[in-house]
Amino acid sequence: MKITYVERINIRDNIFPLRVDDNLNYKIETLPIQLENIFISEDLIIEDKFKFDFLNCKICYSVVRDPVSCNQCEDLFCFFCMDFCLEKKNKCPHCRDFPFNERKINKNIKNILNEISIKCPLFCGEILKYKNLENHLEICTSRPKFYTCNSCCQTIKVENNDLKDLKTHYDECPNIMYKCPDCNNNFNKEQINKHISVCEQLFFDCEICTFRIPKKYTASHKDFYCKLMNGLNQKFEYFFEIV
């Protein structure tokens, strides 16, 4: 699974939130996508779209999905669009022929349709042949996802990898966990603000002896080790001056 990162919060420059896809913060459910729920607009066609106007559904005006044809007018329709119309009235929605009689789709029409190159309707960036669309929808990384926060149980729906709402929740949820970069322990937003100033693994650079010391040794370092180091440095400097 591809790992996605949310922008880090401004607690301290080196405090990073945990990964969005880390189960510590969210339970993730990826939703299945059916062809009937996909709208294939002309803008998704890579080739000259005007050459393929005859492949547009006369109901939804998208590129036909699982096409059916009227025996009378021979126009093309999406199976799903036609099925919806026939539930209300059993006649062709275009020529009004009653009752509706389906015509077998011409093999050449199917071949032309299958070989059209289109952009992924879920905007994942993939370019694929129409005939591979259904298989692609099963694995597309842009399928809608439900992120359920393990801390507050709120569910956020993410479509087309747009993390705007997820980032908003990430910033506002008081129970989201953050990782301390110094000790690698996890804390919620309130705890991390308190922890960062007292973390035992936090290092600092001593201005006197220039050594990098863990913060928990601050007192003992200043009272003893720093003076010892500083005295040794002075002796070394004196020794090199003599030599």
Residue type for position 193: N
Asked if residue 167 and residue 211 are part of one domain, the reply reads: no
Asked if residue 85 and residue 42 are part of one domain, the reply reads: yes
**Count of domains in the chain?**
3
Asked if residue 113 and residue 42 are part of one domain, the reply reads: yes
User: Does residue 219 belong to any structural domain of this protein?
Assistant: yes
User: Does residue 80 belong to any structural domain of this protein?
Assistant: yes
Mean residue pLDDT across the chain = 78
pTM of the model: 0.56
User: Does residue 10 belong to any structural domain of this protein?
Assistant: no
User: Does residue 9 belong to any structural domain of this protein?
Assistant: no
Asked if residue 99 and residue 78 are part of one domain, the reply reads: yes
Asked if residue 124 and residue 53 are part of one domain, the reply reads: yes
Q: Provide the token pair at 24.
A: 């510590």
User: How far is 202 from 184, CA to CA, in rounded Å?
Assistant: 11
Range of the domain at 162: 16-31+144-195
Asked if residue 99 and residue 64 are part of one domain, the reply reads: yes
Residue 78 has pLDDT above 60, yes or no: yes
Q: pLDDT digits over 155-171, tens only?
A: 998 887 788 888 888 77
Q: Name the CA radius of gyration of the chain, rounded.
A: 32
Asked if residue 69 and residue 106 are part of one domain, the reply reads: yes
Asked if residue 228 and residue 157 are part of one domain, the reply reads: no
User: Does residue 4 belong to any structural domain of this protein?
Assistant: no
Torsions phi, psi for 195 (to 5 deg):
-70, -35
User: Does residue 7 belong to any structural domain of this protein?
Assistant: no
Residue 128 has pLDDT above 90, yes or no: yes
Asked if residue 25 and residue 75 are part of one domain, the reply reads: no
Residue 107: CATH number of its domain: 3.30.40.10
CA-CA-CA-CA torsion sign (149, 152, 153, 158): negative
What local confidence, expressed as pLDDT, does residue 111 receive? 92
Residue 11 has pLDDT above 60, yes or no: no
Q: Provide the token pair at 109.
A: 């029409």
Of 102 and 227, the one with more pLDDT: 102
Q: Counting Cβ atoms within 10 Å, is residue 118 exposed (0-12), middle (13-18) or buried (19+)?
A: buried
